[in-house]
Amino acid sequence: GGFTKTSDWLDWYDGPSRPNFKLPPGAVDAHCHIFGPGEQFPYAPERKYTPCDANKEQLFALRDHLGFTRNVIVQATCHSADNRALMDACLASNGRARGVATVRRTVADDELRELHDAGVRGVRFNFVKRLVDFTPKEELQEIAARVAKLGWHVVIYFEAEDLPELWDFFTSLPTTIVVDHMGRPDVSKPVDGPEFALFRKFMREHKNVWCKVTCPERTTKTGPRALNGEQAAYRDVVPFARCLVDEFPDRVLWGTDWPHPNLKSHMPDDGLLVDFIPQITPSAELQQKLLVENPMRLYWPESGQN
């Protein structure tokens, strides 16, 4: 285990444990990234961080090590709207990876077609201020309207305190919406408190809104250590993920978020993250929905495996 320190961020874990939890056949890692390699796919000049390189061979090796069958590779802000590394990985995957791209309003129709043919099925709108500068809502609405014609969805990444001001924009989008990392709840607040109640209202009132119950390592206050055996790792995040799985079992997804950019406190062992899954989906039926049926319906609808 352990990691090598580079620049000001932690390198991804170089020896992930083999999870105790056995992933069901066909399981999808529905949120992960490819970074560079910087020599071949330079990072965007406007980026707000520089990650360690993390290439497709390493991603696919992790997929096989953990027991996943497929990946959904999500464009990260360090590559901005240059989706070449993501496309390269999707094309190399033999149909086992789909992509979520970042595009600007200037993107040409034939570029969108090329992205679709490579396996892209969505675009990502990022509202986390430490990651991106502001983009006018009308530009995002224009992009959403164009990609809706391709059957794509919109992935959104925002912080919980920004949901009220973003509410009208999100609820105006004409596509399926997938929220990254549960909208980053403050898990020091009660799971039945007003802030998380607003997020649950968002999903309850808008059946087109899905959510990734991911990244306990980003919101936890208790950390990765499982206390005296029976307590779950990242135990303070469990109630938040669990209540979304219970209330919206057909609209949740899961992913490793490898290679875990911008983490400073610790670098999660991806095997430990997979062992988080049974804590939040206590039945095989719920695990099948979270890991196979839901991601297949969204990213491989043609396979009929949903």
Ligand X SMILES: O=C(O)/C=C(\C=C(/O)C(=O)O)C(=O)O
CB-nearer residue toward ligand X: 53 or 180 = 180
Does the protein bind ligand X through residue 256 (CB under 6 A)?
no
Work out the number of other CB atoms within 10 angstroms of the CB of residue 218. Answer: 18
Candidates 71-79, 103-111, 135-143, 203-211 — which segment interacts with ligand X by CB under 6 A? 71-79
Applying CB under 6 A, among 10, 34, 76, 292 the residue interacting with ligand X is: 76
Instruction: Encode 87-98: b = buried (16+ Cβ within 10 Å), e = exposed.
Output: bbbbeebeebbb
Annotated catalytic residue within 29, 257, 269, 270: 257
Residue 158 lies near ligand X (rule: CB under 6 A): no
H/E segment holding residue 243: helix 238-247
* Nearest-angstrom CA–CA distance, 112 and 150: 9
Whose tokens are 């066909």? That residue is 26
Q: Which is nearer to ligand X, 126 or 294 (CB)?
A: 126
> Distance between CA atoms of 73 and 63, rounded to whole angstroms?
12
Contact flag: residue 89 with ligand X (CB under 6 A): no
**Token pair in block for residue 157:** 């990444």
Which one among 29, 53, 180, 269 touches ligand X, defined by CB under 6 A?
180
- List 91, 131, 148, 150, residue binding ligand X (CB under 6 A): 131
Question: Should residue 77 be labelled a site residue for ligand X when binding is judged by CB under 6 A?
Answer: yes
Select 78 or 211, whichever has its Cβ closest to ligand X. Answer: 78
Query: Among the candidate windows 52-60, 72-80, 87-95, 140-148, which touches ligand X by CB under 6 A?
Result: 72-80
Piece in contact with ligand X (CB under 6 A), picked from 3-11, 195-203, 256-264, 288-296: 256-264
Q: Are 224 and 268 in contact (CB under 8 A)?
A: yes
Q: CB under 6 A: which stretch of 17-25, 165-173, 257-265, 285-293 binds ligand X?
A: 257-265
**Among the candidate windows 70-78, 92-100, 111-119, 159-167, which touches ligand X by CB under 6 A?**
70-78
Q: How many residues at the interface with ligand X, by CB under 6 A? A: 12
Nearest Cα neighbor of 30 from 277, 234, 220 is 277
CA distances from 25 to 44, 47, 131, 208, 246 (A): 37, 37, 35, 27, 22
Reduce the secondary structure of 266-292 to three states and give it as a string. CCCCHHHHHCCHHHHCCCHHHHHHHHH
Rounded CA-CA distance 59/97 in Å is: 11
Q: Is 53 in the site for ligand X (CB under 6 A)?
A: no
Q: Tokens standing for 263?
A: 């983490």
CB nearer ligand X, residue 274 or residue 286: 274
Alpha-carbon gap, residue 63 to 28, rounded angstroms: 9
Asked if omega into 37 is within 30° of 0 (cis), the reply is yes
Catalytic, 29? Answer no
The only residue of 12, 157, 158, 254 in contact with ligand X, by rule CB under 6 A: 157
Residue 12 interacts with ligand X (CB under 6 A): yes or no: no
CB of 51 to ligand X, least distance (A): 8
By CB under 6 A, is residue 78 in contact with ligand X? yes
Site for ligand X in 258-287 (CB under 6 A): 261-262
Binding site for ligand X (CB under 6 A): 33, 76-78, 126, 131, 157, 180, 218, 257, 261-262
Catalytic positions are: 257
